[in-house]
Structure 1
Amino acid sequence: MRIRHKAKHLFLIVLCTAVMFLQTGCWSKDEIEDQSIYVGMGLDPASESRLEKQFRKEGSDYRKRKLLTYTLQIINVQSENQRGGGQTASSQKPYYNISETGDSMFQLIREFSTRMERPVIGHHLKVIVINERLARKYSMNELLDFFLRDNDIRPSCQVLVSKGSARGTMVAKDNTVIPSLRLYGLIDNRYRSLSILEPMTLSKLEGKMHGEQSYLLQNVIAADGEVKFSGSSIIKGKTQRLQGILNEEETIGSVWLMGNGKGGLVKSYHENRQPVVYEVKGMKSKITSKVAGDDISFHVSIESKGRLIEEWANTNETIDSAFRKQVEEATEKEVRRLTSLALKKVQKQYGIDVLGFGKQFSIQHPRKWEKIKDRWEEIFPEIPITVSIDMEITEYGAKITR
């Protein structure tokens, strides 16, 4: 019995020791204060900064082509330490931007080691912003290859396109905002606006690039230290280059056609030209394809339920079924206008299927798809597409109804 008790006691000691080694914790010998953590990056056409030019003038140069300028946004640890010490504000910005110009992403990142005492690490990278002109000139495969290979960079990182300087989207007016985190936060506001597309992460992009699929990327514009999501970029599947731009209304029309919006509003006008606003509480769309011999056609059915959230046309009267019907019809008319704008630009002007028609056709008619998939971009612009829209008002807020 005594031997058995000792064996049991020894087993418990070994087990506890093993559990201690398996506990999560920081195993790295590198303290966070000794790292330069970058949370955002911008890619622009080559444009050397004044500092880079001065370095080169002093003899700092190496073999490279000036293809692009790479900007990292790095957390200012000293500023954050001041805030953590109980100060409500800091005289320093909570971030700083550093740029290099060249032709190799990896080389540019390592080049920062010759300028900074703390090595840069990308474990917390949130957003990559690509300049529109750069996206037209180079494919996504070329621009993002390094980021997809680098184990330090998480595949959940979001990719955006800037209309103008990508570096400009990484500047804030005051000392309380980290611009890259601001961009990342805007993406989470999809439940508030139909202008914000479904997030495009590196992992999603990798699948689309390998499958040569066409898709939309969210556009961001910057002015005076402020940013705004406005419109989207059409990326062509075979080339993976930016082929065209959708404005804000065309982007919203695309969201309705894809049926993947989380929330937002539709503003229309009553018969007396007063605004009425429908708040989207839910939406869905269904793409149905039909084949008759060699003829192909599509029908998109869009359904939505929502709330009458604002109206100037009937403010002092109760809402009856007739008025509700008028508002529903006005809202349907507006959504039809938006979807028509999107189809005109996507299908007729660019002939690039970023809305998923080809994917649905391949599911519904796989044998026919195998015959035409290589010619899809030639066929798609000529295919008839009809749209039906059904909007239902289910809530009125505190307004009296009858």
Structure 2
Amino acid sequence: MKQTYNHIHFLLVLLSILLLVPLTGCWSSHEIEEQSLGVGVAYDKAKKSIIEKELDEQGEGYVKKNMITSTYQLITPQVASSTNKQGGTQQRSYVNTSETGDSSFQMVRELSLRSDNPLTSHHMKVMVIGESLARSYSLEQLVDQNLRDNDFRPSCLVFISKGRARDTLESKTAGEIPAFHLYGMVDNMYRTTRILPPIPLIKLESKIQSGSSFLLQNILSANGEIKFAGAAVIKGKTGKMIGFLNEEELEGVTWITGKGKGGLVKSFDKKTGQLIVYEIESMKSHIEPHVKGNIISFDVHIESEGRLAENGVTLGDPFENQFLQKAQKVSEKEVKHLVKNVVGKMQKKYQVDVAGFGNRLRITHPRVWRKVKENWDQTFSEVPINYDVKLTIKDYGTSGSRK
């Protein structure tokens, strides 16, 4: 009996000791008051590509080429405490700090030479790449270090800026953190067809590795304000930006892909010139490839249901089917124009497929795709495409009168 008791007592003591291990908590943690939380980063081409030599007394050291300027948006303990004391009305809620060099990793580490709070990237929300830099370097080169960094958040959203990227991380609104503002604007997809589905860093890597051309959301900045304005065209073979699609052209891409969650179609009555606005409630698209011998073609079938949101045409009763059919036809014509216009630009000006035609060909005709995938962008530029657009107005409000 005594031996059994001693055995149980030994097991309880051993269990108590083992329980002390998880109770140590975050033994390797760093106090948040001692950190600078990085929430946004912007990359720009350096104004002057100067080669600097960092040498010690023995003449040894390293050479640094000033090729890229990195701007980091930080939330520091000093900024947070100062903002809280002043109610967030006078003090900015963030600090932007820049480094110039040729290595992203080295630039991050050099921040430690200027601050007692090391940068942490666990909360990074956005990455903005300047137009000039995106034209000069492949995206793979620019984001390689961030993809390798275990501390850098892979869900960070990637954008291109028309102009200097660092300007998109500035705000004249008191208490606003530009990186959070940019991140939140993507949620407005349900209200417009001019916002691309968000592309996080981890998804960008797969697009780069695929070798296919694609789009990234473009940002305009002016006087401390920012706006989504079209998209940057990234060529698959080089990974570099080759141009932009404007806002209307981006609308056309959204209709082709069928990935829109909301928005509108603004058109004008041919006879009266008055306004008709169709509000999108649902959208779907199907790209159908056809292969006959060596000839490839596509049919694009677009369907949507929505409502008559605004009607400037006074000559007509919204309750009459004839009027609704006319409004539908006018809106369908506008959608077809948007689609044809952007495909024309893709095929003739940029010679790239950024709307998923090649992907549909890969799925339905894999053998054909293997033959053409190496030079698909060039092949796509000569492919005939037909369009079928059908919009249905299911709701038109209560405006009008019944007879």
1:378 to partner: Cα distance: 2.4
What SS does structure 2 have at the residue aligned with 1:63? strand
Instruction: Output the CA distance in 2 between the equivalents of 1:292 and 1:316.
Output: 47
Instruction: Output the CA distance in 2 between the equivalents of 1:12 and 1:354.
Output: 66
Instruction: Output the CA distance in 1 between the equivalents of 2:191 and 2:379.
Output: 36
1:398 to partner: Cα distance: 4.0
1:399 to partner: Cα distance: 3.5
Instruction: Output the CA distance in 2 between the equivalents of 1:346 and 1:67.
Output: 31
1:22 to partner: Cα distance: 8.4
TM-score by length of 2: 0.89
Aligned to 2:22: 21
What SS does structure 1 have at the residue aligned with 2:354? coil
Aligned to 1:282: 282
CA distance 1:325–1:333, shift in 2 (3 Å): same
Instruction: Output the CA distance in 1 between the equivalents of 2:80 and 2:327.
Output: 51
CA distance 1:18–1:84, shift in 2 (3 Å): farther
Which residues in structure 2 correspond to 1:27-66 (within 5 Å)? 28-47=28-47, 63-66=63-66
1:372 to partner: Cα distance: 2.0
Aligned to 2:295: 295
Aligned to 1:152: 151
1:316 to partner: Cα distance: 9.2
List per-residue Cα deviations over 1:195-237 (Å, max 9, x = no partner): 1001111111111111212110000000000000001111111
Aligned to 1:80: 80
List per-residue Cα deviations over 1:296-335 (Å, max 9, x = no partner): 1101001111121111224995522111111111111111
Aligned to 2:258: 259
1:43 to partner: Cα distance: 0.6
List per-residue Cα deviations over 1:131-171 (Å, max 9, x = no partner): 11110100011001001000111111100000001011111
Aligned to 1:58: none
List per-residue Cα deviations over 1:3-31 (Å, max 9, x = no partner): 69x959977994997599389x7554311
What SS does structure 2 have at the residue aligned with 1:172? coil
Aligned to 2:354: 354
Aligned to 2:57: none
8 Å Cα contact 2:277/2:311 also seen in 1: yes
Q: Percent identity?
A: 44
Q: Which stretch has the larger CA shift, 76-85 or 110-119?
A: 76-85
Q: Does 1:372 align with 2:377?
A: no
1:121 to partner: Cα distance: 0.6
List per-residue Cα deviations over 1:82-115 (Å, max 9, x = no partner): 4546x53342200111111110000001011001
Q: Does 1:223 align with 2:203?
A: no
Instruction: Output the CA distance in 2 between the equivalents of 1:288 and 1:83.
Output: 56
CA distance 1:317–1:30, shift in 2 (3 Å): same
8 Å Cα contact 2:35/2:77 also seen in 1: no
8 Å Cα contact 2:91/2:175 also seen in 1: no
Structure 1 residue identity aligned to 2:372: I
1:65 to partner: Cα distance: 0.8
Instruction: Output the CA distance in 2 between the equivalents of 1:333 and 1:79.
Output: 53
List per-residue Cα deviations over 1:277-305 (Å, max 9, x = no partner): 11111111101011111111101001111
Q: Which stretch has the larger CA shift, 305-314 or 324-333?
A: 305-314
What SS does structure 2 have at the residue aligned with 1:352? coil
Structure 2 residue identity aligned to 1:21: P
Instruction: Output the CA distance in 2 between the equivalents of 1:331 and 1:370.
Output: 38
Aligned to 2:111: 112
CA distance 1:371–1:42, shift in 2 (3 Å): same
CA distance 1:394–1:109, shift in 2 (3 Å): same
Q: Does 1:165 align with 2:171?
A: no
TM-score by length of 1: 0.89
Instruction: Output the CA distance in 2 between the equivalents of 1:213 and 1:292.
Output: 24
CA distance 1:316–1:31, shift in 2 (3 Å): farther
- Structure 1 unaligned residues grouped into runs of 5+: 56-60
8 Å Cα contact 2:316/2:323 also seen in 1: no
CA distance 1:80–1:367, shift in 2 (3 Å): same
Structure 1 residue identity aligned to 2:297: S
Q: Does 1:242 align with 2:224?
A: no
Q: Does 1:142 align with 2:145?
A: no
8 Å Cα contact 1:76/1:93 also seen in 2: no
Aligned to 2:180: 181
List per-residue Cα deviations over 1:168-204 (Å, max 9, x = no partner): 1111013221111111111111111111001111111
